[in-house]
Structure 1
Amino acid sequence: MARCLFLVASLVFLFTGCGGPSLSGAAADLEDKGNDPEVRLAAVDDLVATGDPEAVAHLHRVLEDEGEDPRIRAKAAGGLGFFQNPDSIDVLVKALDDPDPEVRRQSGRSLVQFGEQAVQPLIRALGFTPEELDDTELYTAAEERRISASRALVAIGEPSVGPLNAALAEYERESFYKAMLAFANPKMPLYNEVAAAIQGYTPDPAEDFADTKIDGVGRFLNRIGNENAIPRKYITLSLQSLQKPPPTYLETLRADSASNAALEVTQRVFGQLKLDAINALITKRESEDKSLQVMCTHYLGYLGLTEATSALVDILADTSEYAGPDVKKVALHSLGRIGTSQAIAALFDALKYSDIRETAADMLEANGAPATTLLLAKLSDPDPKLRAFAIWFFGYTQNRDLQVAALPKLLENLTQEVKVLRENAAVALGKMPAVAFADVAALAADERPEVRQVVAIALGEMAVPEARP
Structure 2
Amino acid sequence: MSAFEPFEEFGDVADIAAGLDDPDAGARRVTVMDLADTAAPEAIPHLARALTDEASEVRLQAAIALSGFDGPEVSAALAGALSDADDAVARAASDSLTELKDPAAADPLFAYLTHQTPFVRMSAFRGIKELRRPESLKPAIEALGGHDPSVREQAVAVIGWLKLEESLPALISACRDPEAVVRRSAVSALGFSTNAHAANAVTTALDDADWMVREIAAETLSRTAGADAGKRLIAALADDYWQVTLKAVRSLGRLRVTEAVTPIGPLLDHEISNLRKEVAAALGEIGHPSALTYLQKHVDDPDPDVRKNVRWAIGRLREN
TM value normalised by structure 2: 0.51
Q: CA RMSD in A?
A: 5.6
Find the partner of 1:118 among 94, 98, 106: 106
Partner of 1:68: 57
The runs of 5 or more residues in structure 1 that have no matched partner are: 1-18, 133-138, 176-222, 250-300, 305-311, 313-325, 397-404, 410-415, 430-446, 455-469
> Does residue 28 of structure 2 align to residue 42 of structure 1?
no
Alignment counterpart, residue 96 of structure 2, candidates 82, 97, 106: 106
Q: How does 1:258-337 map to 2 (within 5 A)?
A: none
2:79 paired residue number: 93
Q: How many residues are aligned here? A: 243
Change (3 A) 1:108 1:230: closer
CA-to-partner distance for each residue in 1:36-78, whole Å, 9 max, x for gaps?
A: 96665223333x53x54xx444211222346125773245313
Contact 1:95-1:107 at 8 Å conserved across structures: no
Find the aligned partners of 2:66 and 2:45 in 1 and give their Cα distance.
12
Cα pair 1:92 1:108 within 8 Å, conserved = no
2:97–2:126 CA contact under 8 A, matched in 1: no
Equivalent AA in structure 1 for residue 35 of structure 2 = A
Counterparts of 1:42-441 in structure 2, within 5 Å, are 42-46=34-38, 48-49=39-40, 51-52=41-42, 55-65=43-53, 67-69=56-58, 72-78=61-67, 80-81=69-70, 84=71, 86=73, 88-96=74-82, 99=88, 103-110=93-100, 112-113=101-102, 115-116=103-104, 118-119=106-107, 121-129=108-116, 132=117, 139=118, 142=119, 146=122, 148-157=123-132, 160-161=133-134, 163-168=135-140, 231-245=151-165, 246-248=167-169, 339-348=197-206, 350=207, 356-358=209-211, 360-361=213-214, 364=217, 371=221, 373=223, 386-387=236-237, 389=239, 392-393=243-244, 418=267, 421-423=270-272, 425=274
Residue deviations 1:147-170, cap 9 Å, x none?
A: x5434323212xx12x22322465
Percent identity between the two aligned chains:
15
Larger radius of gyration, structure 1 or 2?
A: 1
1:71-111 superposed Cα distances (whole Å, 9 cap, x missing partner): 73245313552xx464x43321234565366543333324x
Residues in 1 aligned to 2:34 and 2:125: alpha-carbon distance in whole angstroms: 31
Q: Does structure 1 conserve the Cα–Cα contact (< 8 Å) formed by 2:79 and 2:109?
A: yes
Contact 2:63–2:93 (CA<8 Å) still a contact in 1?
yes
| Cα deviation 1:226-255 (Å, max 9, x = unaligned) | 8x7575543232111332251526xxxxxx
Q: Which whole-Å CA distance do the structure 2 matches of 1:231 and 1:75 have between them?
A: 23
CA distance in structure 2 between the partners assigned to 1:235 and 1:149 by the alignment: 10
Unaligned runs of 5+ in 2: 1-8, 191-195, 255-264, 279-298, 307-320
1:21 equivalent in structure 2: 11
